Structure 1
Amino acid sequence: MDTMVNILLVHGRSRPLFGPVEMKQQWVVALRSGFDAAGIEAPFTDEDVRLPWYGGNLKHLVGGVARAEAERVSLRGDLPVDEREFVRDVVAAVGESFAFTPEQLEAVTGSADTGSGSEDWGRVRTVLAAVDRYVPGMSGATVAFVARECFGYLTDARLRQMIDDGVAQAAPTGGPVVVLGHSLGAVIAYHVLRAHPAAESWDVPLLLTMGAPLAWQPVIQALGRLETRRMPTPVRSWVNARDARDAVAIGGLVGGLLPAGDVVEEPGVVNPDDGRHAIEYYLADPVVARHIARVAG
């Protein structure tokens, strides 16, 4: 394949054990494996892949504490009222999407309610416990944790600007760039492309979101308060790839964030049970490779 593409990879959940160099190495390997699985020559070199790193800022979004403690806080619900309501509404939507039966919820209610701290949070903990038990490869803590990261990014203007500026500065210049956004990174990618002044001059033949929480109504509403929701001007095509068992990526974008016809939905990704939401598995899916190859060809 003669045509090469620049790739901007916008990451989501922070991984404190890995820095930007290690993360990029792992994710480029995963992306290349997807091209191998699809039988397509990868249209990029390692240098063509840019990874803006803001892992330190993500820690601040959930209180600046260690990941394990942040997840415990998320499950206990020891949160400010507005953040608590945001997470509660996200978890309610997740429960509706998976349609847990009353019997399933009752089976996990005892342990989920322990130490809930309030009447309404008991239901939240029950649904998160149901995710743990009945959705292979997913964690209730992951759902609450990503919801809190989204809340922090969407409501803290200073941190949002720091992250957006970092993403914009890392973008390749002088040619088309494929933007890949995973988890919170999908929200960040959309907002940067929609609202950052630097992005106005970009040429983005493909925005590909993976495991995106962009169907969560609290996220949609918060984005609507920041600017009018519409297809970002620099983006020529948008593909939303999701695993149906990824609780962060419930539902599609059509009719929620954007009107029908603006986004191509790819709901057929099937990640392994040890990581339904894992970026490595999304990047390694041949579906992702084929869409990148399409715009590179």
Structure 2
Amino acid sequence: MRDLVLVHGRAQQRLDSIKLKADWIKAWERGLARIGLKRPLADEQIHLPYYGDTLDQLVAGKSPEEAAKIVVRGVQPDDSTALSQDEKAFLEAALMEHVGRYAANPELAVMKEMPQGMSVERGVLNWEWVQGILTVLDRHVPGASGASVALATRDVYQYLTQKRIRDAIDDGVASAMPEGKKTVVVAHSLGTVVAYNVLRNLGQTRGWSVPQFVTVGSPLAVTVIKQRLAQLAPVVFPPCVSHWYNAMDGRDVVSLYPLDATNFRLKPAIENKTNVDNHTENRHGIDGYLDDPDVARRIYDAVVQAD
């Protein structure tokens, strides 16, 4: 049997990390039950590095020492500031890419949401323009607000551009990887950006072996996210990973594109499943991914392999 590491997404701050891990496991068990299988791993073989409070507090400006310690379950646990112009530009680019999913002419769609009779210059520094973007998303994003997409995007920005935040989270995730054994990694949402970055940068030097990397609801293919990842290190297939399986619901509010040759070209190619029927309200929730029978089976098959 192989160990399993779960890397969560955003909006997990102030949650009970034990309950968060239990919720992930229950969702996976539901998916397994749909195909007549039972969870093959004991709780201590499943690790969830919890960084929700760390991200929340570091983004609010606290030092790593003040931020909540990252807890790896299964192991004994030892206000936003004003946005910079760079962050606003990142946020606008990502949000406009989302608008482009629903409108043939994104800029025109946003302009139509501006106050009548007001001639407003396009640009993220203009609040009316931002409001127009969020209104378009409110109209078209099922089960979620434009603000929720913006918050998810901002968390990714903070992780990719703030070294102290990135280092604190990366160290916590890396500490969850068991030494000297093959480990399956499953990541969701922002967690897919974190897990990918950790695996590509640390996996080989630390001797990790990940026979199966599973990402669900991933925003990795969003253009500005790819660009920022490339500024940190070459965008390559993580050398420690043998196979990468990505699953998404086409209606997901966060994962715009599959991680395929068009949107996230890597060698070897990533295997994509694009027809998940995520039953959660915004089509992005982890429950709707882990209880998908194909996703549940993929994780099961990877962890039960003998080494």
Q: TM-score, normalised by structure 2?
A: 0.82
The residue number in structure 1 matching 2:199 is 193
**Closer, same or farther: CA 16–60 of 1 in aligned 2, 3 Å:** closer
Task: Tell me whether 1:170 sits opposite 2:170 in the alignment.
Answer: no
Contact kept, 8 Å, 2:183 with 2:209, in 1: the verdict is yes
Task: Assess, with a 3 A threshold, how the Cα gap between structure 1 residues 57 and 272 changes in structure 2: closer, same or farther.
Answer: same
Contact 2:137 2:145 in 1 (8 A): yes
| Number of the residue aligned with 2:2 | 5
Which runs of structure 2 are paired with 1:228-239 in the superposition (5 Å)? Answer: 228-239=234-245
The structure richer in helix per residue is 1
For residue 223 of structure 1, what is the aligned residue in structure 2? 229
SS at match of 2:50: coil
Structure 2 CA distance for partners of 1:194 and 1:106, relative to 1, 3 Å:
same
- Taking structure 1 as the reference length, the TM-score comes to 0.85
Deviations 1:133-169 (A, max 9, x none): 2222232122111111111111111221111111111
Does the alignment pair 1:15 with 2:1?
A: no
Deviation at 1:293, TM superposition (A): 2.5
User: Cα–Cα, structure 1 residues 191 and 119, in superposed 2: closer, same or farther, change >3 Å?
Assistant: closer
* C-alpha deviation, 1:173, in angstroms: 2.5
Cross-structure match for 2:295: 288
Structure 1, residues 17-72: CA drift from partner, whole Å, max 9, x if none? 4121111111111111111123223232222110111112211454359xxx76xx
Partner of 2:98: 94
**Identical counterparts, % of pairs:** 37
- Using a 3 Å threshold, how does the CA distance of structure 1 residues 148 and 48 change in structure 2: closer, same or farther? same
Q: Which residue of 1 aligns with 2:220?
A: 214
Match of 2:22 among 25, 43, 63: 25
Name stretches of at least 5 consecutive residues in structure 1 with no aligned partner.
none
Q: Give me the whole-angstrom Cα distance separating, in 1, the residues matched to 2:249 and 2:205.
A: 29
Given the alignment of the two structures, is residue 45 of structure 1 paired with residue 42 of structure 2, yes or no?
yes
Change (3 A) 1:48 1:199: farther
Aligned counterpart, 1:258: 265
8 A Cα contact 2:149 2:253, kept in partner: yes
CA distance, structure 1, for counterparts of residue 220 and residue 124 of structure 2: 28
The amino acid across from 1:28 in the alignment is I
| Consecutive aligned runs of 4 or more in structure 1 exceeding 4 Å deviation | 100-111, 116-121
Distance in 1, Cα, partners of 2:149 & 2:141:
12
Structure 2 unaligned segments of length 5 or more: list them: 63-78
State whether structure 2 residue 190 is matched by structure 1 residue 184.
yes
- Are the aligned partners of 1:181 and 1:208 in contact in 2 as well (CA < 8 Å)? yes
Residue 95 of structure 1 and its aligned partner are, at CA, apart by 0.9
AA partner of residue 11 (structure 2): S
The separation in 2 between residues aligned to 1:139 and 1:199, in whole angstroms, is: 41
Indicate the RMSD between aligned Cα atoms, in angstroms.
Answer: 2.8
Moved more, 220-229 or 116-125: 116-125
1:240-251 to structure 2, matched below 5 A, reads: 240-251=246-257
Partner of 2:136: 130
Supply the distance in 2 between the matched residues of 1:246 and 1:12 (Cα, whole angstroms). Answer: 14
Query: Deviation string for 1:246-295 (max 9, x for gaps)?
Result: 12100122234333652011111121251311112212211211211332
SS of the residue corresponding to residue 14 of structure 1 reads coil
